Amino acid sequence: MSETIREMIPEADLAARIAELGAQISKDYEGESVYVICILRGASFFACELAKRITVPVTIDFMTTSSYGSGTVSTGEVKIKNDVEIPVDGRNVLIVEDIIDSGNTLHFLQDVFKERNAKSVRLCTMLDKPDRREVDVDVDYVGFTIPDEFVVGYGLDYDQKYRNLPYIGVVEL
């Protein structure tokens, strides 16, 4: 099966919005530090660019979760595949995700970090698909709200392809 990619969010729009998010996060954490936890693999491009735009002290760590198989729909069951290395106890945690679909992953991670006694837990996502939401999740920082289409690029993949696209595109099968 062959697919084509239609551009949804251009590279320049991504860069501008990431700068805005970085400024807002810096303001919200003024006088404090933030522990950025990037959810791999999809959020890697976004988290690295975002961290460069945050002016307060940043510690960055990575976590791998899974709720997708090789398809385009979340299975609903969230698993931690690789955990953070630095304890979150007493820290301001900012979970950085590529896309919020069902909300299951971020709802799960919020609970995990609260149980681990994080000082605060906030959520930042590059993309939000509210039409797909299955659980309520309070998202503190949203890059773009998008319709219910399967997207790739800027870290997001389709069967491990298209992560390297510098823009967000829609997969048309």
Task: Give the number of domains in the chain.
Answer: 1
Q: How far is CA 31 from its chain centroid?
A: 24
pLDDT in tens, 55-101: 999 999 999 987 755 555 556 678 899 999 999 999 999 999 999 98
Count CB-CB contacts under 10 A for residue 52.
Answer: 12
Residue 140 belongs to domain with CATH number? 3.40.50.2020
Among candidate residues 72, 49, 76, the one with its CA nearest the CA of residue 60: 49
Peptide bond into 133 cis (omega under 30): no
Instruction: Look up 101 and say whether it is catalytic.
Output: yes
pLDDT in tens, 116-138: 999 999 999 999 999 989 999 99
Give the tokens for residue 171.
Answer: 């997969």
Residue from 83, 101, 157, 159 carrying the catalytic annotation: 101
Give the type of residue at 172: E
At residue 157, the pLDDT reads 94
